[in-house]
């Protein structure tokens, strides 16, 4: 197991395979599932960086994307 902090990912899953993929992720010791949205086939989770590519290889997984973060400048900033 790695000491690297987990990274947030969004996993797009075939709706027909959703239950199986969700169960596999829930059983994995190094995956922390944050949200399951079966109606749209999306699972939000946190995984070690080295596991991101492996998740994409699971049956029923269509894609795995690292969640992006953005920040707006404070209201008093010149760009506002």
Instruction: Give tens-digit pLDDT for 16-63.
Output: 999 999 999 988 888 999 999 999 999 999 999 988 999 999 999 999
CATH number for the segment(s) 7-66: 3.30.70.920
- Top-confidence residue, 74 or 61: 61
Q: Exposure string (b/e) for 24-53, b if CB count within 10 Å is 16 or more?
A: bbeeeeebeeeebeeeebebebebbeebee
- Ordered by start, the domain boundaries in the chain are 7-66
Which pLDDT score is estimated for 2? 52
């Amino acid at each position: 197991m790695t000491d690297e902090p987990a990274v947030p990912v969004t996993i797009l899953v075939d709706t027909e395979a959703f239950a199986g993929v969700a169960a596999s992720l829930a059983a994995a010791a190094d995956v922390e599932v944050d949200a399951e949205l079966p109606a749209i086939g999306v699972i939000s989770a946190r995984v070690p960086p080295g596991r991101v590519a492996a998740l994409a290889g699971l049956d029923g997984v269509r894609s795995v994307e690292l969640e992006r973060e953005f920040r707006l400048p404070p209201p008093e900033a010149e760009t506002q």
